[in-house]
Amino acid sequence: MKLKLYIVSLFLLFAVHINAQNRYCLTYDDFVSGHWVDFSDSISLKSIHENRLAYLLKSDNKELRKMLNKSTFALYYSDSLYVNLKELKYFGDLFVRAWRLNDDRLLFARPDIAPSGGLFVGYNGMTIPLSTKAFKSKSKMKNLVCYILAKADGTLTFERVTEETVLDLLKGDNSIMERYLTYELKRRDDADVVTEVLLAAGVIE
């Protein structure tokens, strides 16, 4: 009996593995319409420093690696969604873990780039404000903030998620909203809090 269960479990594991096909889409419009392209070549996402939400894409297939880094908008890898931030400029040419909102916008977590009194760092010839939050924690979510990626008038835009944004997204779910409001005011913008409550409410997936 145990052997039979083991064989069945092994078969199911194999089935999950072969069905977890990697795929990509080239544009935001492709993402919204569900136009994905499957591929079977092996790739890996290498974590940048201690922040496991930002990655550089690697592959032995040089043509595939170049195409994915230069031309894709989004990538499904190991059943998780990643977005290429190259077009947003402020965050660097990298893939980040992302979550889909019910209205097809995307949520992702990065350092706070527009606080008052933040540090200033150079990036590709630009000087942008960067919050000291980015340097205070090595955890994967704490002390990052969330952004919502969308498209307006043909241009990709991003908006920083605030307490007001979260409360608007949680309308109609009083229990999750009450849980969110139990967090200290200074924590309500943090990415670990925002993603926790939005996932619990089914607002992102």
pTM for this entry: 0.76
| Nearest by Cα to 74 from 52, 57, 92, 91 | 57
- How confident is the model over 77-94, as pLDDT tens digits? 988 999 998 888 777 778
Question: 3-state secondary structure string, 130-187?
Answer: ECHHHHCCCCCCCCCEEEEEEEECCEEEEEECCHHHHHHHCCCCHHHHHHHHCCCHHH
- Which residues does 146 contact at the CB level (< 8 Å), separation at least 6? 107, 108, 109, 160, 161, 189, 191, 194, 195
Length, in residues, of the chain: 205
Which range has the top average pLDDT, 94-98, 111-115, 166-170?
A: 166-170
122-144: average pLDDT: 46
> 9-61: per-residue pLDDT in tens?
433 333 333 335 799 999 999 999 999 999 988 898 888 755 567 888 889 99
Q: What is the percent of the chain where pLDDT is above 70?
A: 74
Amino acid at position 129, single letter: P
- pLDDT, mean over the chain: 78
pLDDT of 82: 94
